[in-house]
Amino acid sequence: MSKVQVAPSILSADFARLGEEVSAIADAGADYIHVDVMDGHFVPNLTIGPNVVKAIRSVTDRPFDVHLMISPIDSYIDAFVDAGADILTVHPEAGPHLHRTIQHIKSAGIKAGVALNPATPASAVEFVLDQVDLVLVMSVNPGFGGQKFIPSQLKKIEAVRKMIDLSGRDIRLEVDGGITPETAPQAIEAGADMLVAGSAVFKDGPQSYAANIAALRPGG
Ligand code: DX5
Ligand code: ZN
């Protein structure tokens, strides 16, 4: 397992000062910038599109981990690649052909991830594991920040960790939703090596971002 990395979700940032917020979390030690894209259809919320991703791309050189909660998915891939995404993560339920969607992302020369909703089994990723760079286990139902971690997802993290280790491939195991200094150690213990956190990072304003990020790391 690789070193644990933290990907703050800008969903909890102050959108009126989005550029400054991205730059502040990068300075505070974020390993990735996690961007939650929601379409009001696949999930019951609307957030941002490729234009905003493009606008904040110039603010930092940290990799952009873009979580697409949109359906149908395929016609939007190129726009997010062009906007500067480094990783595009998609849900198996968001399109009819997950393998084809992953190939589309990889053919653009960037990394591809698959996100598993709380009710989606680990096996949904089994036959695309040879193609992906990241598996994202959702520990809340996607759509909103600030929800409670669903403990049953720890078993799924363990199952995905086994699959990744058996594959021998360099694949990140990311967990997203309800990550706090209390739940982060459980997720890491189960096998996660990349933590998404929105409310736990952005609470208390920019002067707290570095401490909030550090508190999520092992021993933090
Ligand atoms: C939920 C998003 C998450 C969310 C995490 O649909 O994918 O990235 O913003 O927020 P917290 O850390 O507040 O649960
Ligand atoms: Zn997310």
Residue 219 forms part of a structural domain: no
In-domain check, residue 118: yes
* Residue 31, pLDDT score: 98
Residues with CB under 5 A from ligand 2 (ion): 36, 67, 176
User: Considering the domain boundaries, does residue 174 fall inside one?
Assistant: yes
Model confidence at 1: pLDDT above 90: no
Cis bond leading into 72, ω under 30°?
yes
Say if residue 153's pLDDT is above 70.
Answer: yes
Mean pLDDT across the chain, nearest whole number?
Answer: 98
Domain count, the chain: 1
ipTM over 0.95 threshold = yes
On whether the CB atoms of residues 71 and 94 are closer than 8 A, the answer is yes
d(CA 34, CA 135): 14
Domain that holds residue 124: 5-214
Q: What is the pLDDT of residues 28-66, one digit of tens each?
A: 999 999 999 999 999 999 999 999 999 999 999 999 999
Q: pLDDT tens digits, residue range 181-199?
A: 999 999 999 999 999 999 9
Whether residue 175 is contained in a domain is answered as yes
Residue 220 included in any domain: no
Where does ligand 1 bind, in terms of residues with CB under 6 Å?
9, 11-12, 34, 36, 67, 140, 142-143, 145-147, 176-179, 196-200
The CATH number for 107's domain is 3.20.20.70
- The pTM of the full predicted model, rounded to 2 decimals, is 0.98
Pairing of strands 5-8, 33-38: unpaired
pLDDT-based confidence at residue 127 (cuts at 50, 70, 90): very high
pLDDT greater than 90 at residue 2: no
Written as one string, the DSSP assignment of 127-150 is GGTTT-SEEEEESS-TT-SSPPP-
- For the question of residue 36 being annotated catalytic, the response is yes
